[in-house]
Structure 1
Amino acid sequence: MERLQSCSFQYQLSICGHRTLKEVCLPGRYGRVIVSSNDNRFVIKTLRKSELKVYLEMLPNYYRHVKKNQASLLRKLYGLHVVRPAGGIKVYCAVWGNMMPSEICIDKCYDLKGSSIGRACSKTIVEDRAILKDLDFDFCFYLDPLVRARLLAQVKYDCEFLEAEGIMDYSFLLGIHIEASHEGSIDENASRSSSAKKKTDDTSEQNESSELTLADICDLLDRPGFKFGDRLPARAVRAFRNEMESKSYRSCTSAQECFKVLLIFGIVDFCQNYNMKKRIEHACKAIKYDSKSIKTVNPKAYSSRFQEFLSAVFLPEESD
């Protein structure tokens, strides 16, 4: 009981800072305010009332799912709250575990849905970090075949859960930390930040952890608490969307850019059901665009496309 009270007190201290609450209660930006807690352990995002309702209805099954699947990629939900500032209106918000560690440099961050229509190359800035979208994404990641198989199996379990709950329009949030480049550089800013990072003492520790992966990570897969999206080492290769969709991007030649990377990822924003508004949106967009390329599709089609997209992003490392 005392431990529970202590955790509750620490949670309140973390999320109830003056700056945090002030940012959360900004008027007129529901669903678009995302701030970090005082200690950077949590991320707080404002919600629409309809989104809050979806989370509340899903909550018992969500709890059972993440408890059964400890390696679940679904972002961990810590709290759903209503804040009413003096003289203001109610603000609904969710508190999530912060996926992006502050101790390493995130060179690229993407919000991916596996669709192209409406996923323009426009940047969203969150906590001074640019969040890119599908049309900006040009990577494939090579993993040990066993790790890849287990990762895609977990994606399948999570997508089946969301499909059963009638949820669509969720995203794969992906952060990339570049450790080394074999050919060229990702871009000027990434090269500069990556070079600066190599000069710190933390880099040696990161390199040591990455050396464990391809040989030892398979031994970690069945251990309690293992998280696929917590700095998973991989070999990244520059790709193009049409090559990823055709699954023809299978090897790294001297003309291609290859990177040694750490990946931080998870499934986020799973609060949209396929309601009448989304059905109408799908019908309207399907007249103009290929119905398979628009993001607004029914939960079964969304789940299938999401899994197919990630199976083209994460490829098996070929043996020498």
Structure 2
Amino acid sequence: MSPTAARRTAAAFRKDRARRYREAAENDQVLVGTKVAEGHANYAMAYNMLTGIRVAVSRCNAKMPKPIQSSDFKTSVKLAFDVSGNEPTPSTKYDFKFKDYAPEVFRSLRILFHVDPADYLVSLTAQYIVSELGSPGKSGSFLYFSRDYRFIIKTIHKAEHKLLRNILKDYYYHVEANPNTLISQFYGLHRVKLPYGRRVYFIVMNNLFPPNRDIHVTYDLKGSTAGRFLNTAKTKTQKGEPIKGSQVRKDLNWIHDHRRINLGPSKRQLFLSQLECDISLLKRLGIMDYSLLIGIHDLTRGNSENIRNSTLKVFQPELSESDLITTDTKERKLQSAYLRHKLKHTSPKALVESSAILPLTVPADKKKFLFYADDGGFIATDENDMPLNELYFLGVIDCLTKYGFRKRMETLIRGMGKNRHEISAVPAVEYGNRFMAFIRRISGTLPADKST
């Protein structure tokens, strides 16, 4: 073949390849398999979140650490990316913009929480886990789990984002003084914005539940009773079967089930002392509507029911290294279009059907914390401080709601037909006092107090 003919053939091949990439990116019909779910746009959004985190955190880690100053709590860094994580040239349209809030502060927090920088980036890959059980906390938020089930990526409302920025300095110094705090461990605060789209705020935080143990029952406790009951008989799978495991039950379920946080004298004192300290901070900051999330693993049942396999799914676009790495501008545009197509037509797979494998052990750094020292949890003990057959995974979650105008209106409206002590929306100090009184009553190995 002559050089001229070879050039023509190569040009025709490139043109045809560009056409195929373009058609794949623009085609909204499913080529193979079934049509994806309505919420699929959120899966692609989470992919963008993880891409932004990896780039922003890598850049922050490349700088030398320095002592935290007051100005660090208010700084932010803006970035723009195409879908593959490359910064677009001025003439190229970006896929999303990313904003990293107080990066130096959150790097310091990750150090305080013993999160290894390399492990953090390795965990937050393009592959992530979603749960059919949804968020255990506030409605309207989406939860995604890192590939090793260690970190949670959670969308939050703008008001929650604003509150976290306002209280970040208090939170930072509280963590510094209380390494065993039960309040959620925040590792990052970020924002994603699509072209002509809304801004999505999200946080990265610790996952209280372990990768290596089934959670047999989960409770979300606030210390109130109005609307605090889950009818487990009505919550079933699409096939009409009862859902295994961790449906999130509430205060009245706890009372109805005659549950207690079984802790002997030593552990009960440690637990309540730390919780009292944490709640004092939240009361001082005017925060309410938080809850104590408790996941219980029954050691006698172990992992025999494979609950995680039935409730967790994996989002894992099938991409090769060549889909993500290129230096040629035209080739980058084609590969970005192809990657957009892949994201649009990928749906989460059941854990057992994917290549994802959850870790068999808890990360060693997690065991450095008092309440996660017993294989990632806090083992129940009897009155003689001897271990029992329950392992608790617990912490204070949803700590980003202030008692403002909306909550005052909720207090007024809900208080008309119910006893004020039964409703959740009450001022922060009253909320905290009631919360602590309830947790004290249900903690320990004494016979259950029948009062509510």
With normalisation by structure 2, the TM-score equals 0.51
- Change in 2 beyond 3 A, CA 1:68/1:134: same
What stretches of structure 1 of length at least 5 have no aligned partner? 22-28, 181-190, 198-204, 207-222, 237-249, 251-258
Matched, 1:227 2:227: no
Structure 2 counterpart SS, 1:168: coil
- After TM superposition, give the deviation of residue 285 of structure 1 in Å: 1.2
- After TM superposition, give the deviation of residue 85 of structure 1 in Å: 3.5
Q: Which structure's relative contact order is higher, taking Cα pairs within 8 Å and 6+ residues apart?
A: 1
- After TM superposition, give the deviation of residue 79 of structure 1 in Å: 0.7
For 1:129 and 1:141, locate their aligned partners in 2 and report how far apart those are by CA, in whole Å.
17
CA RMSD of aligned residues (A): 3.6
Structure 2 counterpart SS, 1:120: coil
Partner of 2:270: 150
- Counting aligned pairs with the same residue, the percent is 30
Structure 2 counterpart SS, 1:227: helix
Partner of 2:83: none
- After TM superposition, give the deviation of residue 66 of structure 1 in Å: 1.2
Query: What letter corresponds to residue 151 of structure 1 in structure 2?
Result: F
- After TM superposition, give the deviation of residue 273 of structure 1 in Å: 0.2
- Change in 2 beyond 3 A, CA 1:5/1:130: farther
- After TM superposition, give the deviation of residue 3 of structure 1 in Å: 11
- Change in 2 beyond 3 A, CA 1:195/1:14: closer
For 1:3 and 1:90, locate their aligned partners in 2 and report how far apart those are by CA, in whole Å.
23
With normalisation by structure 1, the TM-score equals 0.70
Partner of 1:130: 247
Partner of 2:162: 53
What stretches of structure 2 of length at least 5 have no aligned partner? 1-57, 64-115, 131-137, 238-242, 307-360, 448-452
- Change in 2 beyond 3 A, CA 1:233/1:317: farther
Whichever structure has more strand as a proportion of its residues is: 1
- Change in 2 beyond 3 A, CA 1:286/1:315: same
CA contact 2:288–2:403 (8 Å) conserved in 1: yes
- After TM superposition, give the deviation of residue 120 of structure 1 in Å: 2.8
- Change in 2 beyond 3 A, CA 1:5/1:110: farther
CA contact 2:264–2:381 (8 Å) conserved in 1: no
- After TM superposition, give the deviation of residue 151 of structure 1 in Å: 1.1
CA contact 1:232–1:262 (8 Å) conserved in 2: yes
Query: What letter corresponds to residue 306 of structure 1 in structure 2?
Result: F
CA contact 2:128–2:146 (8 Å) conserved in 1: no
Give the stretch that moved more between structures: 154-163 or 9-18: 9-18
- Change in 2 beyond 3 A, CA 1:146/1:30: closer
The count of corresponding residues between Structure 1 and Structure 2 is: 257
- After TM superposition, give the deviation of residue 44 of structure 1 in Å: 1.1
- Change in 2 beyond 3 A, CA 1:67/1:33: same
CA contact 2:61–2:117 (8 Å) conserved in 1: yes
Of structures 1 and 2, the larger Rg is shown by 2
CA contact 1:151–1:228 (8 Å) conserved in 2: no
* CA displacement, residues 160-207 of structure 1 (integer Å, 9 cap, x when unaligned): 000001000001010000123xxxxxxxxxx5x65568xxxxxxx99x
* CA displacement, residues 270-304 of structure 1 (integer Å, 9 cap, x when unaligned): 00000011011101111111101100010111101
- After TM superposition, give the deviation of residue 19 of structure 1 in Å: 5.3
Structure 1 counterpart SS, 2:197: coil
